[in-house]
């Protein structure tokens, strides 16, 4: 099986995450009626999955180190499938909440394990594209969920909306049963022969894998010497942790999911009063998200991570300012379409930069000894920040008005731009081991992590 096929199969993990992100807002309207939910309980139904996802990401990192990436991803998909079925069949609010919690645990685990798995099987020069298959699957999951939500809207078949999520979960399980464990995990756990066999499967019979095997061994040795207790608090881990957690929080507090969750409401408020215009515009947003992610996949190993991230952030910031201005000027059908255009531009710039590049970078910047746990930490931060934004958005709109909220997200986006400019290293084309060497070398020079400027200067 070719590495691209293997990556495409594993990337289904992203589909679970995207589908659930998109489907819940459509389903909520019907859940409200079916279970007589107050606004508070509606919030709980949404947030319990986000909180569960943070928990899933916390558990998955440890399990992935101990038992391997592959079995942990399999177990995660299993939990998700059970959660989707429990939610779909729920006869009481408690059962619905239990199902949503399981779904959350599953998507939280999958959201970190998928990029981790992809990064560890990919050859360095294609790693950006292959890891970003994950984000492509997330965006496809969101788009499919919009379409399914639309299809079932008239009948109100919320059980189908929630239950259909089990389908990609089952396909992922079937696929993972035949995929190999990652060579890096195998080599790090004393299974040199199996690591070699896995590399052979991934690179093809004719490829020369000896150089890669040698490199893996040398790196594992240096890892053991430098990070003897695999501590996240070690100096070599500190700077990647700051970058990973910082980007995680910025990916959410710059507002992407307010658009993903509330796009139809935003469109209606801006003057696209008919429901069908609002739905059409929302589907358009889903398509822009997918298409621009494809563009990112094409560019990320050519232009590099920094170029996409910085351009994407600048574009997001400007689009948010336009959006806020649109709201400031009032509503009307021309302004409604202006709003739609600036929202589409905002999503497009997210999809070309911060969307895929965040998940890619956190799969690349941590030394192997702490990779799974470092990714866990960043992923937990991402889901918690997602939760905070979901819980505060509507209150913030009441407090600051729509223009105020989107100016706030714009300001946070410019903050993210400064952060990324100062701290994010370029990892294009480097082997994961070379990325690791980059941090280790810097950290060991003076026994403490170097400042960002120094670090980049030395790249
Ligand atoms: C983010 C999600 C978001 C999605 C939108 C992902 O990278 O982590 O929170 O819903 O992109 O495409």
Is residue 213 predicted with pLDDT exceeding 90?
A: no
CB 175 within 8 A of CB 9: yes
- Could you tell me which of 52, 45, 40 has the C-alpha nearest to residue 25? 45
Residue 372 and residue 80: Cα distance in Å, rounded? 20
- Hey, which of 14, 16, 20, 21 would you mutate to test ligand 1's pocket, going by the most ligand atoms within 8 Å of its Cβ? 21
- Do the beta carbons of residue 158 and residue 37 sit within 8 Å? no
pLDDT of residue 54: 97
pLDDT for res 150: 81
C-alpha span between 224 and 108 (Å, rounded): 29
Q: Which atom of ligand 1 is nearest to the CA of 354?
A: 7
- Contact (Cβ atoms closer than 8 angstroms) between residue 3 and residue 122: yes
- For the CA of 257, the closest atom of ligand 1 is 10
Instruction: Match 């508070």 to its residue by tokens.
Output: 40
Q: How many CA atoms lie within 13 A of 110 on its CB side?
A: 35
Q: How many CA atoms lie within 13 A of 175 on its CB side?
A: 19
Ligand 1 binding pocket, CB closer than 6 Å: 21, 135, 138-139, 142, 251, 256-257, 260, 289, 355, 359, 382, 386
Q: For residue 18, how far is its CA from the centre of ligand 1 (angstroms)? A: 7
Chain center to CA of 204? 29
Please name the residue whose Cα sits nearest to atom 12 of ligand 1.
139
**Given a cut of 80, is residue 215 above it in pLDDT?**
no
Q: Which two three-digit tokens encode residue 3?
A: 């590495």
CA of 30 to the centre of ligand 1 (A): 24
What is the dihedral sign for C-alpha 368, 373, 377, 383? Answer: positive
Q: Is the pLDDT of residue 374 over 60?
A: yes
Burial of 457 (0-12, 13-18, 19+ CB in 10 A): exposed
Chain segment 108-152, per-residue pLDDT in tens = 999 999 999 999 999 888 999 999 999 999 999 999 998 888 888
pLDDT at 456 over 50: no
Residue 455 has a pLDDT of: 43
**The predicted structure's pLDDT at residue 262:** 77
Residue whose Cα lies nearest atom 2 of ligand 1: it is 257
Sequence-separated contacts (24+) of 31-38 with Cβ below 8 Å: 31/96, 31/158, 33/156, 34/158, 35/92, 35/93, 35/96, 37/93
Largest CA distance in the chain: 67
pLDDT score of 234 more than 80: no
Collapsing DSSP states into helix, strand and coil, what is residue 11? Answer: coil
Indicate if the pLDDT at residue 106 is higher than 90: yes
Q: Which residue has the higher pLDDT, 451 or 367?
A: 367
Q: If you take atom 8 of ligand 1, which residue's CA is the nearest one? A: 355
Supply the pLDDT for residue 412. Answer: 98
pLDDT band at 222, cuts 50/70/90? Answer: low
What is the C-alpha to C-alpha distance for residues 300 and 203, in angstroms, rounded to an integer? Answer: 21
Distance (Å, whole) CA 71 – CA 73: 5
- Residue-wise pLDDT for 380-439, tens only, equals 999 999 999 988 988 899 999 989 999 999 999 999 999 999 989 898 988 877 887 777
Residues 272-299 pLDDT 10s: 667 667 777 788 899 999 999 999 999 9
pLDDT at 450: 40
Q: Which residue has the higher pLDDT, 210 or 93?
A: 93
Work out the average pLDDT over 84-100.
Answer: 96
Determine the distance separating the centroid of ligand 1 and the alpha carbon of 289, expressed in angstroms: 10
- The dihedral sign for the CA sequence 362, 364, 365, 369: positive
Which pLDDT value is given to residue 1?
A: 63
On the CB side of 401, CA atoms within 13 Å amount to 12
Flag whether pLDDT at 449 surpasses 50: no
Alpha-carbon span 240 to 366, nearest angstrom: 6
Task: With CA atoms as reference, report the closest residue to 148 among 42, 19, 250.
Answer: 19
Predicted TM-score of the model (pTM): 0.90
Query: What span, in angstroms and rounded, lies between the C-alpha atoms of 122 and 432?
Result: 10
């Amino acid at each position: 099986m070719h590495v691209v096929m293997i990556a495409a199969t594993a990337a289904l993990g992203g589909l679970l995450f995207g589908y659930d992100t998109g489907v819940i807002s459509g389903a909520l309207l019907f859940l409200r009626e079916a279970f007589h939910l107050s606004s508070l309980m509606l919030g709980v139904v949404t947030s319990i999955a986000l909180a569960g996802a943070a928990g899933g990401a916390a558990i998955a990192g440890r399990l992935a180190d101990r038992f391997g990436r592959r079995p942990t991803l399999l177990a995660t998909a299993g939990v998700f499938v059970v959660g989707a079925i429990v939610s779909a069949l729920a006869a009481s609010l408690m059962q619905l909440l239990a199902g949503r919690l399981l779904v959350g645990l599953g998507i939280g685990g999958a959201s970190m394990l998928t990029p981790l798995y992809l990064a560890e099987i990919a050859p360095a020069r294609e790693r950006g594209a292959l890891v970003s298959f994950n984000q492509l699957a997330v965006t496809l999951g969101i788009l499919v969920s919009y379409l399914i939500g639309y299809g079932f809207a008239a009948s109100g078949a919320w059980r189908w909306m929630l239950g259909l999520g089990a389908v990609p979960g089952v396909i992922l399980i079937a696929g993972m049963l035949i995929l190999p464990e990652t060579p890096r995990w195998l080599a790090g756990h004393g299974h040199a022969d199996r690591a070699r066999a896995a590399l052979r499967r991934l690179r093809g019979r004719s490829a020369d894998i000896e150089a890669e095997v040698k490199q893996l061994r040398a790196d594992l040795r240096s890892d053991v010497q430098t990070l003897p207790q695999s501590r996240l608090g070690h100096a070599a881990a500190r700077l990647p942790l700051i970058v990973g957690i910082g980007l995680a929080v910025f990916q959410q507090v710059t507002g992407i999911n307010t658009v993903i969750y509330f796009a139809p409401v935003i469109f209606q408020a801006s003057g696209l009063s008919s429901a069908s215009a609002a739905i059409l515009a929302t589907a358009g947003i889903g398509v822009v998200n997918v298409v621009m992610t494809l563009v990112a996949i094409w560019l990320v190993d050519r232009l590099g991570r920094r170029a996409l991230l910085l351009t994407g952030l600048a574009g997001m910031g400007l689009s948010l300012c336009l959006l806020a201005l649109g709201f400031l000027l009032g509503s009307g059908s021309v302004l409604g379409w202006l709003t739609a255009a600036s929202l589409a531009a905002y999503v497009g710039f997210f999809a070309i930069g911060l969307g895929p590049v965040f998940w890619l970078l956190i799969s690349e910047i941590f030394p192997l000894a702490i990779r799974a746990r470092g990714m866990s930490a960043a992923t937990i931060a991402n889901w918690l920040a997602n939760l905070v934004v979901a819980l505060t958005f509507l209150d913030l709109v009441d407090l600051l008005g729509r223009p105020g909220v989107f100016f706030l997200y714009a300001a946070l986006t410019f903050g993210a731009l400064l952060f990324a400019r100062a701290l994010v290293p370029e990892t294009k084309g480097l082997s994961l081991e070379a990325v690791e060497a980059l941090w280790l070398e810097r950290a060991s020079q003076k026994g403490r992590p170097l400042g960002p400027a120094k670090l980049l200067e030395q790249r």
